[in-house]
Amino acid sequence: MVTAQVVTRDFSDRVREAENPQSLLVRFGPDQPLKLNAGVDLSPFQIAYQTYGTLNARRSNAVLICHALTGDQHVANVHPVTGKSGWWETMVGPGRPIDTDRYFVICPNVLGACVGTTGPSSIDPKTGRPWGLDFPVITIRDMVAAQAMLLDHLGIDSLFSIAGGSMGGMQVLQWAASYPDRVFSALPIAAATRHSAQNIAFHEVGRQAVMADPEWRHGRYLIEGTNPQRGLAVARMGAHITYLSDAALHRKFGRKFQDRSTPTFSFDADFEVESYLRHQGSAFVERFDANSYLYLTRAMDYFDLAADYGGALANAFKGTPTRFCVISFTSDWLFPTSESRAIVHALNASGARVSFAEIITDKGHDAFLLDEPELFAIMRGFLDSAGKARGL
């Protein structure tokens, strides 16, 4: 039985992964600063990334995977901290829709995250201590600019494809807008071109939960040797509900009791759904940094692609040569189909080649990570056809 207390754990694995990850690593020195949206330069900084498959001689088969808010670069391998299989192993691998026998797959940890790429838990070279809240606020555009530097480093001028769900989908759209000539095809899944008021509101609740934890110490917990795990766990529990749907929760848990047949008339986790959420919360804090959660949710909040292009979304994609496949899920209320439809309207208005499919499922926003045969068939078909056009 999972209780309300979160047991203090050894977080040394996580701290190690933040600085010296078990991933490929590229360091950008003082000669290659990253110019951030916030108007400051980030330098030096590093990007941790995983690759799968082989880059062909023409360097034309690279696929960039952009991970979501709480994802990381371990798409299709065992996670070094949790020991769990990769978060998109059903999608990426030999013979999978994103076929590593055909494509060279790259997945970087995003800027601001905590699995090897520079973020608030990294060491600030000026002070020799973790950045904490002194880390500059970053945006989706900054994440993408950093990824573009990674591709330059790898000698890849043009991506065959770029795919991602949720915050990953935001990066896909930003990529297509910022570097249209480097993106042959793009798959924004369960995404939006701007974060809605409701989503900003949910994120604010999560951030307040982190900041209300006395262990957070104004973001200096790594320096002071504390850990705001309760706050972060609550943030995760709240967010996790938004990734599911009423129907899915009902199907999975209903009103079933956890290991008991009658209520205890206490605040124990009587219900299965409570126990499940507590587990989600406590598992999350093992692998995620509280400040990273603040910075990444903020980056999503600030995302508004149309605003960067004079308020007209179609301008962001004007004359784009990229082939798009936009996918949404019927029960996703966090990034509902209407958001995907707005992307499609803008792409149509700019004359882009676009496919759009809405998949029927009760699994909510998280459906893009789950076993959805129709999603696999659509992505495989889209990539096969794009591959033909690319001469792969």
Partner 1 sequence: MLLRRHHDLTMAEAARGPGGARVDLVLVAAMVEQGSRVLDVGCGDGELLRLLGETRDVDGRGIELSREGVNECVAKGLAVIQGDADTDLADYPNDAFDYVILSQTLQATRQPRAVLEHMLRIGRHAVVSFPNFAHWRIRLQILFRGQMPRTDNLPYAWYESPNIHFCTIKDFRLLCDVVGARMEKAVALNPWGKPLRLTAPWWIWNVFGEQAVFLLSRKG
Q: Which residues are catalytic?
A: 166, 332, 365
CB of 59: closest distance to partner 1 in angstroms? 23
Q: How far is CA 126 from the centre of its chain?
A: 29
- Restricted to residues 341-360, the positions that interact with partner 1 (CB under 8 A) are 344-345, 348-349, 351, 353-360
CB of 382: closest distance to partner 1 in angstroms? 6
Residue 167: which of 201, 144, 183 has the closest Cα? 144
**Options 287, 323, 363, 365; binder of partner 1; rule CB under 8 A:** 323
CB atoms near residue 212 (< 10 Å): 13
- Restricted to residues 112-131, the positions that interact with partner 1 (CB under 8 A) are none
How far apart CA 273 and CA 249 sit, in angstroms, is 8
- CB under 8 Å to 314, separation ≥6 — which residues? 346, 347, 349, 350
**Per CB under 8 A, does 176 bind partner 1?**
no
CA angle 204, 360, 63 (to 5 degrees): 70
**Options 135, 288, 329, 382; binder of partner 1; rule CB under 8 A:** 382
**# binding residues, partner 1 (CB under 8 A):** 26
* Torsion sign, CA atoms 134, 140, 145, 148: positive
Contacting range for partner 1; rule: CB under 8 A; set: 141-149, 212-220, 284-292, 382-390: 382-390
CB of 243: closest distance to partner 1 in angstroms? 22
CB of 374: closest distance to partner 1 in angstroms? 6
- Which CB sits closer to partner 1, 241 or 349? 349
**Options 105, 233, 300, 325; binder of partner 1; rule CB under 8 A:** 325
- Which CB sits closer to partner 1, 187 or 232? 187
**Per CB under 8 A, does 381 bind partner 1?**
yes
How far apart CA 236 and CA 239 sit, in angstroms, is 5
Query: Number of helices and strands (H, E) in the chain?
Result: 12, 14
**Tokens standing for residue 190:** 């369960």
How far apart CA 20 and CA 18 sit, in angstroms, is 6
The residue type of 261 is S
**Per CB under 8 A, does 313 bind partner 1?**
no
How far apart CA 170 and CA 388 sit, in angstroms, is 26
CB of 334: closest distance to partner 1 in angstroms? 20
Contacting range for partner 1; rule: CB under 8 A; set: 18-26, 79-87, 170-178, 371-379: 371-379
How far apart CA 62 and CA 346 sit, in angstroms, is 26
**Per CB under 8 A, does 315 bind partner 1?**
no
C-alpha dist (Å) from residue 325 to 185, 329, 343: 8, 14, 10
**Options 79, 374, 390, 392; binder of partner 1; rule CB under 8 A:** 374
Residue 339, phi then psi, degrees to nearest 5: -70, -40
**Per CB under 8 A, does 385 bind partner 1?**
yes
- Restricted to residues 74-103, the positions that interact with partner 1 (CB under 8 A) are none
- Contact residues toward partner 1 (CB under 8 A) are 323, 325-326, 344-345, 348-349, 351, 353-360, 374, 377-378, 380-382, 384-386, 388
